[in-house]
Structure 1
Amino acid sequence: MKTALITGASRGIGRAMALVLARQGYDLLLTARSADQLEQVATEARQLGRSAQVLPLDLAGAGAAAQLAAWVTAQTQELAVLVNNAGYGLWGRFEELPLAQQQNMLQLNMHLPVELTYALLPLLRRQPKAYILNVASTAAYQAVPTLTLYAASKAFLLSFSRGLRYELRETSVSVTCLSPGATTTDFADRAGMNADLQAVANKVSMTPEQVAEAGITALLAGEAEVIPGALNKVSAALTSLVPKGLTERIAAGIYEKHLK
């Protein structure tokens, strides 16, 4: 049976994508830190008639990608979908945030997807058709003051997706980059955003289910990039037309003014 691996699958967009893929007929391999939450997602997938295995793992830890790849290889030789979803943000001025926390974020947002893709690409290429979905952000399209390294890490992931897609254009593996905007997940809490800023984001937030449906639909259609939501599409498009300094001032006006 065709199988999908989803990182960061315990909640939010990862959980929603796992269930969309289950409904599409994929067996699931799920990983994140929370064993209990992973089991809940696996139970829901099994209720849809799919097999679901879980690996609780700190994906930012040393050797996590190698450990995960070995587990996947032991579970299946029919990996057809890799969803690099695990990641988080940190809100605050670069010089004021602990460097160790920022390095941990970069490990999860950038190094894990690169290492995991490298390890699992030979397995994916064995399939008649296989897919890689990298979850970036609309922040990938511009610099975002006070989310500086987060935005930079997502810009890296977008560029990585574009380059890899071209390299694999004559193979059976298709690469798609999903760039959501504000979504009703625990991203803001994890990033350390205050209630005022969260209230601003909630006005334009999409649900994880909406983002997941858009992402998986684009993935299986072989699209290069997808930005869910009309407002998010317009916002990302404008960043290529408006002077960079202006987009950065606009972003700072949203995020920086809420800092204490």
Structure 2
Amino acid sequence: MYALVTGASRGIGRALALLLARRGYDLLLVARSEDQLTALAQEIGTTHQRQAHVLALDLAAPGAAETVAAWARQQTDQLAVLVNNAGYGLWGRFETLSLAEQQNMLQLNMALPVALTHLLLPALHQVPRAYVLNVASTAAYQAVPSLALYAASKAFLLSFSRGLRYELKATNVSVTCLSPGATTTSFADRAGMGAELQATANKVSMTPEAVAEAAVAGLLAGEAEVVPGVLNKVSAGLTSFVPKGIVEKIAAGIYEKYL
């Protein structure tokens, strides 16, 4: 059986790929960096004795989902896991951030997982048991000033995951949404966050490996949502009870003061 992981070259995607290999899956690895993908594939082969095929591709480019789906079908007819992990954030006020870059982020965070899931569901239905893991964020549970579109894109992914999960409940495909909090990855650098904000996030960050362990356990158990870490579970849960205005004020106090 194969697992396809987008954004597999680093961070949570890399950790998920390694853990799935350890669980006995062969891998289809997709990201922009061919060197990092090749190194990961070699590690998977050496450490876990699993096959790993790589596709270096800009996943925000037009037609990327179709390219990935066609490539995946060429590699195997035993696709059992789809991990939609590719994505990034942009930190700053909506009106001052580049519109083009924000649209690029929305393409990667929302349009790509929707298209890829739609294109690969027929393949997933061909195996006895299959899984879709959509990687969102604890930002999906609230509006976040200065990460407004990023949080909105992850809220979309969470809602899409839950709706699709219900539609597929009588089938062989289980859908899970992973919503990690701060994680020791390159997210903050890519988002353009300053050193002070990065230092604050690092105080409560989880490792990609710990996030991946929780994600794969929840995925294979058929859970609807996985929020790794006690602090993240509590903060995500509180957003259902605390008035939205207060939640937004707290989030703004964390992120906007460093702008």
By the TM > 0.5 criterion, same fold? yes
Distance 1:183 1:44 in 2: 22
Distance 1:132 1:111 in 2: 16
Aligned residue for 2:18?
A: 19
Distance 2:4 2:43 in 1: 16
How many residue pairs match? The answer is 258
TM-score calculated relative to the size of structure 1 = 0.99
Q: CA deviation at 1:63?
A: 0.3
Q: CA deviation at 1:148?
A: 0.2
TM-score calculated relative to the size of structure 2 = 0.99
Paired amino acid for 1:147 = L
Tell me the secondary structure at the aligned position of residue 222 of structure 2: coil
Tell me the secondary structure at the aligned position of residue 97 of structure 1: coil
Aligned residue for 1:257?
A: 257
Aligned residue for 1:233?
A: 233
Q: Deviations over 1:207-252 (max 9, x none)?
A: 0000001001100111110100000000000000000000000000
Distance 1:40 1:246 in 2: 46
Please report the RMSD computed on the Cα atoms of aligned residues, expressed in angstroms. 0.3
Paired amino acid for 1:230 = V
Residues 1:156 and 2:156 aligned together: yes
Tell me the secondary structure at the aligned position of residue 103 of structure 1: helix
Residues 1:32 and 2:40 aligned together: no
Q: Deviations over 1:140-175 (max 9, x none)?
A: 000000000000000000000000000000000000
Distance 2:40 2:157 in 1: 26
Residues 1:89 and 2:83 aligned together: no
Distance 1:127 1:95 in 2: 46
Distance 1:172 1:21 in 2: 19
Aligned residue for 1:46?
A: 45
Residues 1:123 and 2:100 aligned together: no
Tell me the secondary structure at the aligned position of residue 70 of structure 1: helix
Residues 1:247 and 2:247 aligned together: yes
Paired amino acid for 2:204 = V
Paired amino acid for 2:172 = S
Aligned residue for 1:9?
A: 8
Distance 1:57 1:195 in 2: 30
Q: CA deviation at 1:41?
A: 0.9
Q: CA deviation at 1:110?
A: 0.1
Distance 1:31 1:162 in 2: 25
Alignment of 1:67-82 (within 5 A): 67-82=67-82
Runs ≥4 residues deviating over 6 A: none
Tell me the secondary structure at the aligned position of residue 95 of structure 2: helix
Distance 1:222 1:103 in 2: 32
Gaps in structure 2 of 5+ consecutive residues: none
Paired amino acid for 1:218 = G
Gaps in structure 1 of 5+ consecutive residues: none
Residues 1:212 and 2:207 aligned together: no
Q: Deviations over 1:64-120 (max 9, x none)?
A: 000000000000000000000000000000000000000000000000000000000
Q: Deviations over 1:28-60 (max 9, x none)?
A: 000000000001111111011000000000000
Distance 1:38 1:195 in 2: 28
Q: CA deviation at 1:193?
A: 0.1
Residues 1:144 and 2:155 aligned together: no
Distance 1:226 1:199 in 2: 25
Q: Deviations over 1:130-149 (max 9, x none)?
A: 00000000000000000000
Q: Deviations over 1:193-218 (max 9, x none)?
A: 00000000000000000000100110
